[in-house]
Amino acid sequence: MNANASGALRLYLIRHGETEWSLTGRHTGRTDIPLTRNGEDEARALGRRLPDIPFSHVLSSPLKRALRTCELAGLDTIPEIEPDLAEWDYGDYEGLRSLDIRKARPDWDVYRDGCPGGEMPAQISARADRLIARLLKLDGNVALFSHGQLGCVLAMRWIGLAANEAQHFTLGTASFSVFAFDPHHAGVPVIALWNARSA
């Protein structure tokens, strides 16, 4: 961490609302599926928790489930598309559930093993680091509309842990988390809030 150690930067990581695949536990990387009706309701409810936050920047994954969540949350700013906020590329495992993958690979863990034909942990970690380096050049409250597993990796890299430690974290749909700096220890990145839900 460097550029914004003053504490002026606060990142609001917002996971998209429910989709059919998130509801059934199917890994949804680059497949561009919409929110369910419940997911749209979740996004609107999330917006009621965010309206008093003055965002200096709003960034979103290019995938429509993230963009629609941003729209329904009611932020006044048109989001900047940030490709590095896209979900993990699951490659050959796209659309599969973890329990299906583990029939062939009983010990498989995405954060440790990655996905054949998709991204490996070193790649997702490098992507998160590249994104953090850009975010550190910003000031104020920054909204990041993104996804579950990418979000967990981003949190780990924010506090300097390896991407595989993300296996101990989870993000619910239409949740938000806050990454900031410890006000009592300048330059120390912290997770100030994790997985807050609107309901």
User: 């900047």: which residue's tokens?
Assistant: 80
User: 């299906």: which residue's tokens?
Assistant: 100
How many residues does the structure list for the chain?
199
Q: What is the pLDDT of residues 122-164, one digit of tens each?
A: 999 999 999 999 999 999 999 999 999 999 999 999 999 999 9
Q: Please provide the average confidence, as pLDDT, over all residues in the chain.
A: 94
Q: How far apart are CA 73 and CA 76, in angstroms?
A: 9
Q: The pTM is what? A: 0.94
Q: How far apart are CA 43 and CA 117, in angstroms?
A: 32
Residue (of 81, 71, 49, 80) closest to 176 by Cα position = 49
Domains in the chain, ordered, with CATH? 9-197 (3.40.50.1240)
**Per-residue pLDDT, 14:** 98
CA atoms within 13 A on the CB side of 43: 26
Query: Would you place residue 106 in the very low, low, confident or very high pLDDT band (cuts 50, 70, 90)?
Result: very high
**Per-residue pLDDT, 2:** 46
Write down the number of H helices and E strands in the chain.
Answer: 7, 6
> What tokens were used for 4?
């914004």
Residue 115 pLDDT > 70: yes
Report the DSSP beta bridge partners of residue 15: 146
The residue with greater pLDDT, 7 or 102, is: 102
Which residues are annotated as catalytic? 16, 87
